[in-house]
Amino acid sequence: QEEARKQSQRLILLFCLAVFVLVVLTNALFVVFVWFSDIGNLAGTQRINVSSLPWYQALLAIIDNFGWDKIAIVSAIIVSVIAVATWSKWSDLSKGGHVVAELLGGKRVSPDTKELHERRLINVVEEMALAASMAVPPAYVLTNEQGINAFAAGVSSDDAVVAVSQGALMQLNRDQLQGVVAHEFSHILNGDMRLNVRVVATLHGLTMINETGRILMEAGSRRSYRRSYGFSNSSRKNNGGQFVIFIAGLALWLLGTVGQFFGEVIKAALSRQREYLADASAVQFTRNPTGIGEALQIIGGYGKHSKIDNPRAHELGHFFFSAAFNSRLFATHPSVDERIERLLPNWNGQYAESTAEAELRSEFGDAVMGFSGGSLHAEDLSKAVQSESSGSSDISFEFQEQAAAEPAFNLKSLLERVHTSYDAKGVYYAFIGHESVATNDWSERIAPLSLSQKLDLLRAAIPSLKTLSKEEYSAFRSSYLQVISADKKRSLSEWLGFELFRNPCDRFFGLAKPVKPKYKNIESIAGFYRIAVTKFVQMGTRTTRDQLAAIEAAGKASGIDLAGTKLALNISTKEFTTACSELKKAYPLLTPRLIKGLLAAAEVDGKVCEIEQKLVSILAAIWDLPLPTLEMSEAA
């Protein structure tokens, strides 16, 4: 994510440079145009003799004679046009990943779909999200696209979606699809999606000069045509004025085309390197280079390759897993062969054919609605969710867990049952101990589960909550708030449950916008961080000495002065949750240090308990950071 921020800074620098060049060239063109036309006389500009001067002195003399005030006006107009266009595109695309998916013809897959290909996609996306301790993003299918491709879109993990083409859905087997989806999840976790949206908005702003020129050209040629054929009573001598408009439009169009050209080159250069990093992250995520490698082999040998037919494919081509269109100069992705060779060094150069259909029947042979047991990642996930808490008395009040060798309900079957909005609401109510008709029998079902398993279940229910209408979701949200506020004392588990669905669902339904950064330096957040760290270490399984050591480790790792922190402070849950919410408003370069400090505190004694593991994961999600590496101790 740090690399993505550096890429964003480079993009801003290049964007400013491109705008500056466009402003200079447009002003030069405007001055010369006015100088050699009759418009200069109308503007009160008197020509001077510059024939004896060198060209650069002549140009400066013309500009000085023209007036720097007029130059400033022209510059302001150009910058305003670019800024408004950039802001407009950013506003549209920052509403959530579903906007991009729908622009490209995506259809949302229902979480409780019975279609086998879609069921497999839902399972794979769900597994990846739970392994990453993030909210499960909605899945989309580009139903009209037969090329094999996929993308992730959104501004943050809260509003992310994962989409695959119909070709990918039909042609890839489970391991191959998993490799592709893992690639897209790496874009989510590394902050690449936000960079992609910025690239689109930036290029749209630069393109507006081109578009303005095109409009002027059309206006000039159309009005000139009307006068020439008697459609206007105005004198035909005004045709000269229309010709001037046409020429001005042509000049702007040419300048805009130059800006657009360099913008496309910048986009391609930024995107290509990110794809290599995402491939490597996918392998690290799945521990299986063969899956994504074989997916690329099938793309190479498939008739439509990864081509996307939607007209917006060129504008949004850098979002995709593989090249959405053919272009050498503006290629947003490395070649398929290069990517395969990096993933599979012993590749023989032969492409593969799809065997997905036969494997699909085999995969769902034993349990049409269950997870495939043949996936390495699924096995890892199963091990993770079967970890049980020791129930140590040092863990905070509401997180006492009853050790259970075998839960009464299998987690995998429960994950399948939260694929309706009714059951999704029920499991959230059951998590906070609220008994109602909506809870159904969820209280009994989740009682034997560990905290880790319960939180995974809540994350898996989020896509089903997003199938509600905006009115239905608002009603559920209000009801949930009433329940957790009834005793005027919100517990930590209630806060966790609310935060898990509030962030992604509020963004999805347009009830909240991305949080604007407020705190620019470490000193401004030190007080909030002191509260968060103190409560965090007190919830762990530590002696007082270990708690002090953990606070010291957090201070060193984060670079925040925590000296003199008093463990005797009685920090309430409200103070802790308020501090965490305020820390979310820190500038992006500061928030990774917060997680780094918590990681150091959790690992200081070599024992990481379940509540520490899940709190770090949830805070990382709330602060929109990649999932940190944190292994839970067997003894914790």
**Residues catalogued as catalytic:** 184
Q: Residue 452 has which token pair? A: 């880790």
Give how far the C-alpha of residue 205 lies from the chain's centroid of Cα atoms, to the nearest Å: 21
Helix (H) or strand (E) holding 436: none
What angle do helix axes 522-538 and 544-558 make, rounded to 10 degrees? 150
Q: What angle do CA 368, 373, 375 make, to 5 degrees?
A: 120
Report how far residue 288's alpha carbon sits from residue 264's, in angstroms, rounded to the nearest whole number: 33
Tokens 């990093």 belong to which residue? Answer: 277
Report how far residue 436's alpha carbon sits from residue 630's, in angstroms, rounded to the nearest whole number: 37
Give how far the C-alpha of residue 496 lies from the chain's centroid of Cα atoms, to the nearest Å: 22
Q: Which residues contact 580 (CB under 8 A, 6 or more apart)?
A: 528, 532, 619, 622
Tokens 């670079």 belong to which residue? Answer: 559
- On the CB side of 236, CA atoms within 13 Å amount to 7
Outline where DSSP puts E strands in 239-311: none
Helix (H) or strand (E) holding 473: helix 470-485
* CA 589 vs CA 6, 593, 625: distances in Å: 10, 8, 11
Report how far residue 559's alpha carbon sits from residue 553's, in angstroms, rounded to the nearest whole number: 10
Q: Of the candidates 381, 386, 382, 425, which has an alpha carbon nearest to the alpha carbon of residue 403?
A: 386
Report how far residue 624's alpha carbon sits from residue 190's, in angstroms, rounded to the nearest whole number: 10
Beta-strand relationship, 139-142 and 106-108: antiparallel
Q: Of the candidates 497, 567, 561, which has an alpha carbon nearest to the alpha carbon of residue 539?
A: 567
DSSP lists the bridge partners of residue 586 as: 519
Q: Residue 29 has which token pair? A: 């063109």
Task: Convert 531-573 into a string of H (helix), E (strand) and C (coil).
Answer: HHHHHHHHCCCCCHHHHHHHHHHHHHHHCCCCCCCCCCCCCCH
Report how far residue 476's alpha carbon sits from residue 423's, in angstroms, rounded to the nearest whole number: 13
Please report, as a single letter, which amino acid is at residue 146: Q
> Which string of DSSP letters, residue by residue, matches 109-176?
PPTT---HHHHHHHHHHHHHHHHTTSPPPPEEEETT--S--EEEE-SSGGG-EEEEEHHHHHH--HHH
Q: Which residues of 88-123 are buried (b: 16+ CB within 10 A; e: fewer)?
A: ebbeebbbbbbbbbebbbbebbbbbbeeebbbbbbb
Report how far residue 61's alpha carbon sits from residue 53's, in angstroms, rounded to the nearest whole number: 9
Q: Residue 152 has which token pair? A: 């992730």
Say if CB 597 and CB 620 are below 8 A apart.
no
Around Cβ 251, how many Cβ atoms within 10 Å?
19
Report how far residue 135's alpha carbon sits from residue 131's, in angstroms, rounded to the nearest whole number: 10
Q: Of the candidates 82, 104, 83, which has an alpha carbon nearest to the alpha carbon of residue 93?
A: 104
